[in-house]
Structure 1
């Protein structure tokens, strides 16, 4: 990014020190410094002058210490001896600055930063629309995000949710919006404006977690396409029952590549070529245009049509349904990604 108007600007690592202990340590520093100044003022009180009664009591010393470490004083009690003035100049003045830094730092840490975060979070949420939500930034999630960016998706249109600060830091470097949290919770997904997302991709690393995220996401975004990664074949049906539109099993895909390589030395290479933005050819999915309605799939000019989806059912280019495209048909086509010839198709 790094884009400074998104969640990643507020990426923080959770401190191992409890909040109460951090606050107690700050108070301890203030008390210790105040005590040092108070003791020195009391010991060398003869170097001070009170314009009201010409007497310096302990209350006067306490009052003078308080106003000098927090302000520049009011002039009713002043240092008159050279030693007292040197002490005020070289010791009390730096301590006064330290006091103010501690006060401001505490106010920022416990009040201002949270308020600023909430304000900017609300501003970012208002701007989020038609974004892609990625739950889980492990190996699969990070590869998916890199591939989307390589295909031209703007990083600011991607929101990554993950509980790991180190993973979110990597997503931040790519320019994505990031949100640290548990994607199985309604509040986390709602903060990422899931109801306005154009697509949801889930790869939590564990099948049970991924399926639970799918259930939560489908509840909050009934009509949004959801793609989920599961590693156990037995969980594919569960993922679909949870509401997933697309279920991806990387183990099965690896098996397909291995089987293809056994049938011919170039089949696996071509399949990988189709799946990567760096390949010479790419798969593309789109709706049939008005001009294409009534024509056969093989007559499209944008690419090589290989399949259509009609009312959710797939038909290959060789089936009778592909001889006349209808309105609402989804076309799967192969496109060239560069200045290559027809032989590359």
Structure 2
């Protein structure tokens, strides 16, 4: 295999967290935390005010509303000057079993370091478990370089639910970009078994591989094929010599972007609109689109010319592709490649 440079690093197991973009902005999340803190504070103030006869003020002997606010604030912040104290058993039990847990929550929410290291990891694991429980028939995207960025955007344009896409990459910036699209992301090395297991590769419907290097791509294919024998795998290979190796590794479709771009460039010399039309076929944003579908039951026995759902350009029977003129009648299990109007 031809060695190629890579910008990726290999994160450790501790970074295996499936994530999605939060529906709330940073300011909205901050506002929610502040509202939680305020609600807990007001709750304590209300209880202390109702039970103010259970409090003793050593300064003037009476407990006003200002005293209640003051006592609540120094209680939740663990300051405690001792000038106002609970004197009844009920007030002391409230402070012990209600105020003290709330005091702890106050400290955890307000202390950023405590939040990051004490809560965030557990929270991420819980979110990851929720996401994994709902992952089924999804599409795993290994690598988020130029090729897969375009692939993800095209899938989303075709109506694919963002929650069905799981993007794996080792680069923080790439993962951040993918997360902004609303898809599930995983900051990890896709060549590792534990990474693909975290992405529930066994339950996926397809895998798209473009990790930046041919050797990495082939290793991802090998790993995925071993874990999911029935998985549909498409891989990008840049060196012609590696195409057969990728197929032997288990790839169903091998795409060489260098060769394909060369074909488009050569084709464009024979007419300025040929390359444009071929690109139009591949995307939903154009006027026409190339669609592959299975022959339906009511179409069995018909000729391709009689099928009016689109312009048939190829029929796949088993593992062989046939031109429209070579097939007399379609059979059950055949697949049709046809050009259709993308606006219909």
Relative to the length of structure 2, the TM-score reads 0.70
Q: How is 1:14-93 mapped onto 2 (pairs within 5 angstroms)?
A: 71-73=78-80, 75=82
Q: CA deviation at 1:214?
A: 0.6
Compute the displacement of 1:266 (Å). Answer: 2.2
Matched, 1:143 2:150: yes
Indicate the residue corresponding to 2:330 in structure 1: 325
1:308 aligns with: 315
Alignment-derived partner of residue 123 in structure 1: 130
Distance 1:69 1:300 in 2: 75
Q: Aligned to 1:291, what secondary structure does the other structure show?
A: helix
Please give the secondary structure, in 2, of the residue aligned with 1:263. Answer: coil
Asked if 1:190 corresponds to 2:202, the answer is: no
What corresponds to 2:241 in structure 1? 234
Q: 1:8 aligns with which of 20, 32, 35?
A: 20
Structure 1: how far apart are the matches of 2:280 and 2:226?
36
Cα distance in 1 between the residues matched to 2:332 and 2:109:
67
For the structure 1 residues 119 and 294, does the alpha-carbon distance in structure 2 shift closer, same or farther, using more than 3 Å as the test? same
Report the counterpart of residue 26 of structure 1 in structure 2: none
Contact 1:8 1:172 (C-alpha < 8 Å) held by counterparts: yes
Alignment correspondent of 2:42: none
Partner in structure 2 of residue 207 of structure 1: 214
Question: C-alpha distance in 2, partners of 1:296/1:260?
Answer: 31
Matches of 1:318 and 1:282 in 2, distance apart?
A: 21
Give unpaired runs (5+ residues) of structure 1: 1-5, 11-66, 79-95, 340-345
- Counterparts of 1:100 and 1:286 in 2: how far apart (Å)? 58
Gaps of 5+ in 2: 1-17, 23-73, 86-102
Greater RCO (Cα-Cα under 8 Å, separation 6 or more): 2
Distance, in Å, in 2 between the alignment partners of 1:323 and 1:102 is: 72
For the 8 Å contact 1:156–1:177, the answer to whether it is kept is yes
Counterparts of 1:313 and 1:295 in 2: how far apart (Å)?
Answer: 19
Aligned length: 259
Q: Distance in 1 between matches of 2:137 and 2:254?
A: 22
TM-score (norm 1): 0.69
Shift in alpha-carbon separation, 1:107–1:310, aligned structure 2, 3 A: same
Please report how far the alpha carbon of residue 102 of structure 1 lies from its aligned counterpart in structure 2 after TM superposition: 9.2
Give CA-to-partner distance per residue, 1:255-292, whole Å, 9 cap, x none.
11122112333221211111122111101111100011
Pairwise CA distance, 1:172:
1.4
Partner of 1:278: 285
RMSD of the alignment, in Å? 2.7
Alignment counterpart, residue 257 of structure 2, candidates 233, 239, 250: 250
How do 1:285-300 and structure 2 match up within 5 A?
285-300=292-307
